[in-house]
């Protein structure tokens, strides 16, 4: 009597680890996107007003030949950490799944790890690209109407 061979997925530790990391990265990205932000933040009106005032002050200093203030490092909060962790884990998932490919693990499992890892990264990239474009359009509108707002 011969023993049946173990299922193929049991011999794919790297591909499965890649899928697990990618799933965790995607969960972090989606939870942070739809449930967050978790750290206290100012209202959007205050933030936009500060940005517009900073642009105006910076332009005035440049026109007058004054020195710009030194940059200040942002503090790390839970939101900034989650924004860094999700795509980093997605990249690690891709690398681990590709190690599984090198070790000739099942191609379907490797492909799932790579695809989920890429999606975890792209969720963040596409979200911030869209938000950046919307923010620039909003700031342009505010700057164009700054004269009528200030008097």
What confidence tens digit (pLDDT) does each residue in 90-111 have?
999 999 999 999 999 999 999 9
pLDDT at 47: 81
Q: Is residue 146 part of a domain?
A: yes
Q: Is residue 92 part of a domain?
A: yes
Q: Is residue 39 part of a domain?
A: no
The closest alpha carbon to 20, from 87, 94, 126, belongs to 94
Helix locations, the chain, DSSP H: 13-35, 44-64, 78-102, 107-144, 146-150
Q: Give me the domain span that covers residue 117.
A: 13-34+48-150
Query: Quick check: 150 pLDDT over 70?
Result: no
Q: Is residue 7 part of a domain?
A: no
pLDDT at 59: 82
Confidence class for position 73, pLDDT limits 50, 70, 90: confident
Whats the size of the chain, residue-wise?
A: 151
Please tell me the total count of domains within the chain: 1
Q: Is 104 helix (H, G, I), strand (E, B) or coil?
A: coil
Q: Is residue 1 part of a domain?
A: no
pLDDT at 121: 92
Confidence class for position 9, pLDDT limits 50, 70, 90: low
Q: Is residue 78 part of a domain?
A: yes
């Amino acid at each position: 009597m011969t023993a049946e061979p173990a299922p193929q997925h049991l011999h794919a530790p790297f591909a499965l680890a890649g899928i697990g990391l990618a799933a965790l990265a995607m969960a972090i990205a989606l939870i942070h996107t739809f449930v967050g932000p978790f750290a206290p933040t100012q209202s959007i009106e205050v933030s936009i007003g500060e940005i517009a005032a900073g642009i105006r002050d910076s332009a005035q200093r440049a026109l007058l030949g004054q020195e710009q203030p030194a940059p200040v490092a942002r503090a790390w909060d839970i939101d900034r950490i989650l924004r860094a962790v999700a795509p980093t884990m997605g990249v690690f998932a891709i690398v681990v799944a590709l190690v599984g490919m090198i070790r000739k693990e099942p191609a379907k499992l490797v492909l799932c790890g790579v695809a989920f890892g890429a999606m975890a990264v792209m969720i963040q990239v596409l979200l911030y690209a869209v938000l950046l474009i919307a923010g620039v359009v909003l700031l342009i509108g505010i700057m164009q109407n700054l004269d009528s707002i200030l008097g």
